Amino acid sequence: MPQILLTSASSYIGNTIFVILVCGVLVLFVLYIKKVITSILDGFEMLYAQFTKRPIFIHFYPIRRKLNAGQIKILKSNFTFYNRLDAKHQSYFRHRMATFLLQKNFEGKDDFEITEEVKVLISATAIMLTFGFRNYTIPYIKNILVYPTQYYSTVNKIYHKGEYNARYETLVLSWDNFIEGYRIDDDKVNLGIHEFTHAIHYNCMKQNDINSIIFVDTFSELREQLSANEQLKNDLVASNFIRSYALINDSELLAVIVETFIEAPKEFNNLFPEVYAKLKQMLNFNFSGY
C-alpha cells in the first residue's frame, strides 16, 4: 500500500510539472506571436505616418472610467476646450482625465489645499494637450506640486511661477498664476500649458510611440525651418505675436508657441500658417477651432 501511494504521488507531481511546462510554453508562444503581430502593426503604422503625419487611430477604450458629477461640473464650468468637443469626444476626455487623476500624485506646498477644482483643471490641461495622442498620460510626470503663489528656488536662488523637473519627474505650479492663465483665453500666456509642454517634450524624447516620434521629428523640422528661413524668424520676432521669451532656447520656443497655438489659433494661422501647420501636426490637433 505505501508503494502504491508513493507511485500515485510521483505520478501526480510528474503530471503537474508537465502541465506547468506546457502552460509555460504556450504563454511564451502567445507572447512571441503578440510581439510579431505588434511589430508588423507598428511597421505598418510607421509607413502610414510617413505619408499622413498622424497615427492610424487615437481612441479605443473597451471600458471607460468615469468622473464624478462634481468633477464634470467643474470641467464644464471652466474648460472651453472640453465644451467645444462633441458628446463622443467629451466621453473620451472624461475617461482620459479619470485615468490621469488615478496615476498622478498631487501635493500642496506652503499650506496650499489640493481641492477637486485644482486637480480637475490641472488634469484637464494635460489631457487637452495630449488629446491628439494615443498614449496620453505623460508617464514622466509622477508628482504635481502646487504652491499658492510663486515660490523661491533654493537651487538657482530665484522665484518661480512653475517648472518641470525631469530628474524627479515632477511638475510644479503656482496656483494663482495657473488660474490667471485661463482668466483671459486669448492672451497667449498660460502657465499650465507652458509647463506641461516642457514635460510632454521630455516625455516624447524618451518614448518611441508613434505620436512621440511625430512630435520630436516635426519640432526638429520646425527648428530647421526657422534656422534656414531668416526672414520667417525675423517676422516672428518683429510681430510681437510670439513672446520674445521664446528666443531663450529651443525648449522655451516650443512652450511659448504651443501656448500661442492653443490660445490664439486663428490669428496664428493667419499670420504664420507654415509654423501653425507644424504645431497642428505635432499635437495631432483636428478639433473644433483648430
pLDDT recorded at residue 42: 59
pLDDT at residue 190 is higher than 80: yes
Euclidean distance between CA atoms 244 and 38, whole angstroms: 44
pLDDT at residue 30 is higher than 90: no
Predicted model pTM: 0.86
Would you place residue 243 in the very low, low, confident or very high pLDDT band (cuts 50, 70, 90)?
A: confident
Provide the percentage of residues in the chain whose pLDDT is more than 90: 67
Question: SS3 sequence, the chain?
Answer: CHHHHHHHHHHHHHHHHHHHHHHHHHHHHHHHHHHHHHHHHHHHHHHHHHHHCCCCCCCCCCCCCCCCHHHHHHHHHHCHHHHHCCHHHHHHHHHHHHHHHHHCEEEECCCCCCCHHHHHHHHHHHHHHCCCCCCCCCCCCCEEEEECCCEECCCCCCEECEEEECCCCEEEEEHHHHHHHHHCCCCCCCHHHHHHHHHHHHHHHHCCCHHHHHHHHHHHHHHHHHHHCHHHHHHHHHHCCCCHHHHCCHHHHHHHHHHHHHHCHHHHHHHCHHHHHHHHHHHCCCCCCC
The closest of 66, 122, 125 to 91, measured between CA atoms, is 66
Average pLDDT in the 113-119 region?
A: 98
Instruction: State the distance between the two ends of the chain, measured CA to CA, in whole angstroms.
Output: 83
pLDDT at residue 201 is higher than 70: yes
Would you place residue 14 in the very low, low, confident or very high pLDDT band (cuts 50, 70, 90)?
A: low
pLDDT recorded at residue 11: 64
Tell me which range, 24-38, 70-84, 234-248, is most confidently predicted by mean pLDDT. Answer: 70-84
> Quick one: how far is CA 267 from the chain centroid?
25
pLDDT at residue 274 is higher than 90: yes
pLDDT at residue 6 is higher than 60: no
pLDDT at residue 265 is higher than 90: yes
Q: Going by DSSP bridges, is the β-strand pair 143-147/151-152 parallel, antiparallel, or unpaired? A: unpaired
**165 pairs with which residues across the strands?**
170
pLDDT recorded at residue 27: 64
pLDDT at residue 37 is higher than 60: no
pLDDT recorded at residue 109: 96
Average pLDDT, the chain: 89
Phi/psi of residue 33, nearest 5 degrees: -60, -40
Integer CA distances (angstroms), 55 to 133, 141, 252, in order = 8, 23, 26
Q: In this structure, which amino acid lies at residue 166?
A: A
Instruction: Please state which of the ranges 48-52, 186-190, 201-205 shows the lowest mean pLDDT.
Output: 48-52
pLDDT recorded at residue 245: 81
246-264 pLDDT, tens digit each: 878 999 999 999 999 999 9
pLDDT recorded at residue 240: 86
Would you place residue 238 in the very low, low, confident or very high pLDDT band (cuts 50, 70, 90)?
A: confident
Q: Report angle CA 121, 127, 133 to the nearest 5 degrees.
A: 170
pLDDT recorded at residue 230: 85
